[in-house]
Amino acid sequence: KPRAERQRLPVVPQGIERDAFLQALAELKEELGAENLEINDKPLTDGWYMEHPNTHDMMTILHEEELVASAVVYPGSTEEVQQIVAWANKHKIPIFPISMGRNLGYGGAAPRVRGSVTIDLGKRMNKILDINPEDFTCLVEPGVSFYALYEAIQAKGYDHMWIDSPDLGGGSVIGNTVDRGVGYTPYGDHWACHAGLEVVLPTGEVIRTGMGALPGNNTWQTFPYGFGPYSDGIFSQSNFGIVTKMGMTLMPNPGGYESFMYTFPNEEDLAPLMEIIRPLRISNILENVAQLRHVSQSIAARGLPRTTFYTGAGPVPSSVLHAAASSSPVGDHTWAYYGMAYGPAHIRSHKLALVNSEFRKIPGARKIDPSTLPPDEYFWSRDRVAAGIPDIQELRWVNWTPNGAHVAFSPVSPIRGTDATALFKLGKARHEQYGIDFWPAFCVGLREMHLIVEIVFDRHDPERKEAALACLRDMVDDAARLGYGEYRTHLVLMDQIAGTYSWGDGAIMRFNERIKDALDPNGILAPGRCGIWPRRYRGRGWEM
């Protein structure tokens, strides 16, 4: 038979008898309708970003059968989500909610516990419930992507409102926000910009947070706090609830915008540059998440395979990188800064003049004239994203290797030369040790920055996957020893990273576990996500 029609044996979650499990699935299928439950018994196919699988991590760093769903269900409403949760409690079956599952580099659609039943919320719950052109807010379901929200606002002719999109615009607004993803307009901190959640708890009750708790309110999306403890936080990067609706604030069209790009010659310029960036960013002269990228990633962003430039083993040597960059705007320089100024021309010019005089304090700094750049130059992708226009060009660098997949190391630090240098050195040393190309990109939030290091590997090459994972694990430990922690991570690294947040003999994890056990006594919801294991799983060797 052709590969796509052959069957795999369905995966059964550990601790449940196969027949009982299949029986329980049949029961759920009956409840939801046959078309809304799929058993994962076909060969796993990876697809690509826009046609990604919901059964597993298409960019897996483990064996592809390790983090897979047993089945996928498609609820059509909050009530059906509650039904699924009730079913999971009755049979003690692990469930794992995803919005769209395009969380590439962090686990994609995969569940943390093999054989979990994935709840693909986005397929049927994909409505934009409200766009309010006066309050500049919206209310969305899990299946609304940044593209869909952008297009709906355009279609209504609401020229006065912008959305904020992450690097890749195909993901879910809810999925990205609850995982605390970021974008590149001044509204880039998605979690800070959300307002109000509807959540199905692991026992099946529904709550609305903030003003949503007050019947008849008209402020759910305009005042995020409501009254009493602010509970939203526990539903981000956790496994405490399933978000079925979320409010989001929208940015006013600033009345003009202008991308700019500077390059800086030497690796050592990093430290003085950070000292220049910090006050500019904190005082909002640099108005959006500022990106400082190493030339290595700029080359890969053109989408050509590594073998175009180099066929040797180990990281591409710096001389080869610079030769490859000679035809790009980065040229013989090492760092590229991508930023945007917002507002009408006379307002932009004041800010841009300040930036220019500060950046030029780095000897040899070069300002790139955008009018010299061809339309498919990476600069224009950054330009779109910083203007809230969804894009997917960023993904081009996965072409660096055959069967390219990626996973990130993302430590947080203050915006300081000493911190940037320490993280840069640590990453570079480990990449050299494991023979991996090093792609550091600093993303400056406001008072902090994330160093994002994407490792691209061939997902069909077990040896390179092992090297990538070992490199990541070492970087996480090295960073923790210096006092740095990651802001977000892949399923595979969650236990390790949660373990680095160990102050007070692991006080925060004990607190998280207490909440988990109170909200989810049967331990059915996304066990292990973000390192939080329910009582039923603890001390049984689930961590990795």
Which residue of the chain is nearest ligand ADP when measured via CB? Answer: 175
Residue 209 engages ligand ADP in binding (rule: CB under 6 A)? no
Question: Among the candidate windows 92-100, 290-298, 357-365, 478-486, which touches ligand ADP by CB under 6 A?
Answer: 92-100
Kindly tell me which of 126 and 421 has the beta carbon lying closer to ligand ADP: 126
Element at 448 (helix H, strand E): strand 448-458
Q: Is 106 a catalytic residue?
A: yes
Through-space distance between the first and last CA atoms of the chain, rounded to whole angstroms? 37
- Judged by CB under 6 A, the residue of 116, 172, 263, 410 near ligand ADP is 172
Which of 119/479 has CB closer to ligand ADP? 119
User: Are 250 and 135 a contacting pair, CB within 8 Å?
Assistant: no
> Residue 196's closest CA among 176, 175, 220, 172?
220
Look at residue 8 and give its three-state secondary structure.
Answer: coil
Compute the distance between CA of residue 539 and CA of residue 237 in angstroms, rounded to an integer: 22
- Rounded-to-integer distance, Cα 278 and Cα 13, Å: 49
99 binds ligand ADP (CB under 6 A): yes
Which one of the spans 98-106, 202-210, 284-292, 320-328 is the region binding ligand ADP (CB under 6 A)?
A: 98-106
Of 69 and 242, which has the nearer Cβ to ligand ADP?
Answer: 242
Binding mask 105-134 for ligand ADP (x = CB under 6 A): --x-------------x-------------
Nearer to ligand ADP, 142 or 315 (CB): 142
Q: Is 382 a catalytic residue?
A: no
Q: Residues in contact with ligand ADP, total (CB under 6 A)?
A: 21
- Pair 131, 151: CB distance under 8 Å: no
Q: Which of 484, 487, 529, 537 is catalytic?
A: 487
Distance CA 458, CA 437 (A): 13
- Cα–Cα dist 240/196, whole Å: 16
Per-residue interface string for the shown chain with ligand ADP, residues 484-523, x marking contact by CB under 6 A? ----------------------------------------
- By C-alpha distance, which of 358, 345, 191 is closest to 286? 358
Q: Tokens 């979690």, residue?
A: 191
Q: Which stretch binds ligand ADP (CB under 6 A): 168-176, 214-222, 366-374, 443-451?
A: 168-176
- Cα distance between residue 198 and residue 450, in whole Å: 29
What 3 state SS string does 162-203 have?
ECCCCCCCCCEHHHHHHCCCECCCCCCEHHHHEEEEEEECCC
Question: CB-hemisphere CA count at 13 Å for 499?
Answer: 12
In the complex, the smallest distance separating the C-beta of residue 280 from ligand ADP, rounded to whole angstroms, is: 31
Residue 488 a catalytic site member: yes
Q: Stretches 169-177, 282-290, 312-320, 419-427: which one binds ligand ADP (CB under 6 A)?
A: 169-177
Q: Looking only at residues 441 through 480 of this chain, which bind ligand ADP when binding is defined by CB under 6 A?
A: none
Helix segments in 92-136, DSSP class H:
none
Question: Is 296 a residue that touches ligand ADP (CB under 6 A)?
Answer: no
Q: Which two tokens stand for residue 537?
A: 């799983």
Contact 450, 423 (CB under 8 A): no
Among 46, 164, 167, 179, binds ligand ADP (CB under 6 A): 179
The reply on whether position 176 binds ligand ADP by CB under 6 A is yes
Which residue among the candidates 348, 464, 488, 529 is catalytic per the annotation?
488
Q: What residues line the site for ligand ADP (CB under 6 A)?
A: 97-103, 107, 121, 142, 171-172, 174-176, 178-179, 242-243, 526, 529
> Which active-site residues does the annotation give?
106, 487-488
